[in-house]
A and B are shown apart, each in its own frame.
Chain A
Amino acid sequence: MSIISKTQILKANYQRFIDSDIWYSFKKSPITVVSAAVTFLFFFVTIFAPFIAPHDPFDLASIDLMDASLPPAWFLDGETRFLLGTDDQGRDILSTIIYGSRISLFVGFVSVIFSLILGVGLGLISGYVGGRLDAFIMRVADVQLSFPAILIALLIDGLARSLLPRELHDEVALYVLVFAIGISGWVQYARTVRGQTLVEKGKEYVQAARVIGIRQWTILLRHILPNVTGPVLVIATIHLAIAIITEATLSFLGVGVPPTTPSLGTLIRVGNDFLFSGEWWITIFPGIALVLLVLAVNLLGDWLRDALNPKLR
Chain B
Amino acid sequence: MFTFILKRLLQSVVVMLTVALIAFSLFRYVGDPINNMVGQDTSLEERAELRERLGLNDPFFLQFYRFAADASVGEFGFSYQHRRPVKELIAERLPATLELALVSAILALAIGIPMGVYTALRRNGFLSRTFMTISLIGVSLPTFLIGILLILLFGVILRWLPTFGRGDIIEIGWWSTGFLTASGLKSLIMPSITLALFQMTLIMRLVRAEMLEVLRADFVKFARARGLPTRSVHFRHALKNTLVPVITITGLQLGSIIAFAIITESVFQWPGMGLLFIQAIGEVDIPVMAAYLVLIAFFFVVINMVVDILYFVVDPRLRIDKALANGQ
The interface of chain A, by Cβ under 8 A from chain B, is 139, 143, 146-148, 150-151, 154-155, 157-159, 161-163, 241, 245, 248-249, 252-255, 268, 272, 275-276, 278, 280, 283-284, 287, 290-291, 294-295, 298-299
Contact = CB atoms under 8 A, between A and B. Distances in A.
Contacts of B266: 252-253
Contacts of B163: 276
B259 A249 contact: no
Contacts of B182: none
B132 to A, nearest CB: 11
25 contacts: A146-B252, A147-B259, A147-B300, A148-B259, A151-B259, A154-B281, A155-B293, A162-B30, A162-B31, A162-B289, A245-B142, A248-B144, A249-B142, A252-B266, A253-B144, A253-B266, A255-B281, A268-B144, A280-B152, A287-B148, A290-B145, A291-B137, A291-B142, A294-B142, A298-B139
Interface of B: 11, 15, 22, 26, 30-31, 136-137, 139-145, 148-149, 151-152, 156, 163, 252, 255-256, 259-260, 262-263, 266-267, 278, 281-282, 284, 286, 289, 293, 296-297, 300-301, 304
Contacts of A155: 293
B278 A268 contact: no
Contacts of A298: 136, 139-140
A275 B164 CA distance: 13
Q: Is the interface of B mostly helix, strand, loop or mixed?
A: helix
Contact of A253 (B149, B262, B293): B262
Contact of A284 (B142, B152, B301): B152
A268 B145 contact: yes
A150 B259 contact: yes
A250 to B, nearest CB: 10
Nearest to A252: B144
Q: Nearest 10 CB-CB pairs, A to B?
A: A295-B140, A158-B281, A151-B259, A294-B140, A162-B284, A148-B256, A252-B144, A245-B142, A162-B30, A148-B259
Interface centre among B15, B151, B281, B301, by most chain A C-beta atoms within 10 angstroms, is B281
Contacts of A157: 281
Contact of B148 (A150, A253, A268): A268
A254 B278 contact: yes
A163 B30 contact: yes
A125 B297 CA distance: 29
Contacts of A280: 152, 156
Contact of A283 (B148, B263, B281, B289): B148
A163 to B, nearest CB: 6
Contact of B300 (A139, A146, A245, A283): A146
B156 A276 contact: yes
Contact of A150 (B139, B260, B293): B260
Given A143-B15, A148-B255, A298-B136, A159 B26 contact: yes
B44 to A, nearest CB: 24
A245 B287 CA distance: 29
A253 B143 CA distance: 11
Nearest to A241: B140
B284 A161 contact: yes
Nearest to A248: B142
Contacts of B140: 241, 291, 294-295, 298
B160 to A, nearest CB: 15
Contact of B263 (A162, A249, A287): A249
A91 B6 CA distance: 61
B235 to A, nearest CB: 29
A150 B257 CA distance: 12
Contacts of B144: 248-249, 252-253, 268
Given A252-B263, A254-B278, 19 more contacts: A143-B15, A147-B259, A147-B300, A148-B260, A151-B259, A151-B262, A154-B262, A159-B26, A162-B26, A162-B281, A162-B284, A162-B286, A249-B143, A249-B263, A253-B144, A272-B148, A290-B145, A291-B145, A298-B136
